[in-house]
Amino acid sequence: MKSIISTGQGRLHLIQSAIAIKDQGVDVKVITGWVPGKLFSDKLINNMGRLIGRTNLAYGLRKRSPEGLPRTDIRTCSFSEFYIQFLFMLTSRKLLSRDTAAIMGWKAFGTESKKYINDSQIFHVRSGGGRSGAIKKARQQGMKVVVDHSIAHPKEIKRQLGKLESESTNSKYINISDGFWNNVLKDCEEADVLLVNSDYVKDTFLEQGYPAEKISVIHLGIDASFYDLKRSYESDKMRLLFTGNFGFRKGAHIIINAIEILMLQDVAFSLDIIGNVSAEVAIPDWFRNHPDIKLHGHMPQDQMKKFLADSDVYIFPTFVEGAAQSVKEAMAAGLPVITTVNSGAPVQHRENGYLIKDDDAADLANAIIVLSKDEDLRSSMGKNAAATIRKSHTWSNYAKEVKELYKSIIDESE
């Protein structure tokens, strides 16, 4: 069985997906962006990254050619990657709209990828990466098309982010009329199967009339190195943890307001924020300078695992996701999580996590207070969370299900 996996611009999860699927005996080739050769040192790559505001660019690019994925199985679209970054530089100078840059850059990837689309039964493409004739080329080659979509339907994104319109912010809202998102939906519509990573994402497509028989839900895996990092649930001060981009979509302002409520109620806490702070968020001086609040910035996963082991509660009051891997990593570690239904994570309220309303800082603060007073609840939730991930959210399970999906759609055509 042969599959071509096209990541589109960026990396997303599809590199790890390819490794897992290859381990199931599928002959996988990956189409992705620029993969630096041995002549490019990390220092040189990071210096290049500073031009686009990414000081640790090498860390991300090296993940495109990890162990388990031979370099001979990777097809690079270097031109389109440099092209889209150039276009985004123009947007920062207000010479081009972000939407136009995204459309042009993703179409360039589709065009460049076509030369690699051959000799396979399956074309597995990230939504948005099938334009400029990429999906059409796969069809001409007799391939079945699996479109991989990892976030809610664009109309759901718009609805959820519409809740932020009252905020004083420069946040760039996603508009359903944007050409980029229309191209993403065109890929979804042209798929033989739309592959999504949570029931939440599936439901958002069903609400828009997408045919249920074309949707397959397969949960992404979590690396076993995250399993059971948390050993003790005793605590005299709530050590809170957030990981990810600290921006409005992830609920940064909700966290700031909830912390203010905790302070007013004299709740003992500390908060570690691991990830870049989005420019859209105005961090109050009292928050930035608080002795028990640490803004760590980006951190490699191996360093982050220590925080998963030592924290008491993971908070992620997001407005819209697909299936937040960061929440699932915390669950795998055995950390009780507080999040929203919109995270797409496999959370059952007060069983393996705590669900709160989105756009509600008081609800987040109350959840933290409830868990701060109940060690047994924290322990049971954390242990149940770890069991949930170990049982149903492994890369092995993911790959077996994807292989069966491939087989089913190939058999249908024979």
pLDDT tens profile 202-228: 999 999 999 999 999 999 999 999 999
The average pLDDT across 342-363 equals 97
| Integer angstrom CA distances of residue 64 from 32, 59, 60, 106 | 8, 10, 7, 18
Q: What share of the chain is helix, strand, coil (3-state, %, to 5)?
A: 45, 15, 40
Q: How far is CA 288 from the centre of its chain?
A: 26
Which residue has 């700031």 as its token pair?
256
Q: Which two tokens stand for residue 275?
A: 């990830």
Read out DSSP for 243-260? Answer: ES-BSTTTTHHHHHHHHH
Task: Compare 165 and 236 and report the one with higher pLDDT.
Answer: 236
On whether the CB atoms of residues 328 and 393 are closer than 8 A, the answer is yes
Partners of 192 in beta bridges: none
pLDDT recorded at residue 21: 97
Q: Where in the chain is the domain with CATH 3.40.50.2000?
A: 2-221+394-412, 224-392
Q: What is the pTM of this model?
A: 0.91
pLDDT recorded at residue 284: 95
pLDDT recorded at residue 259: 98
pLDDT recorded at residue 162: 86
Which residue has 């031109």 as its token pair?
79
CATH number given to 224-392: 3.40.50.2000
Residue 220's contacts (CB-CB under 8 Å, 6 or more residues apart) are: 13, 17, 197, 323, 325, 328, 393, 395, 398
Is 2-221+394-412 CATH 3.40.50.2300? no
Min mean pLDDT across 76-90, 189-203, 304-318, 372-386 is at 76-90
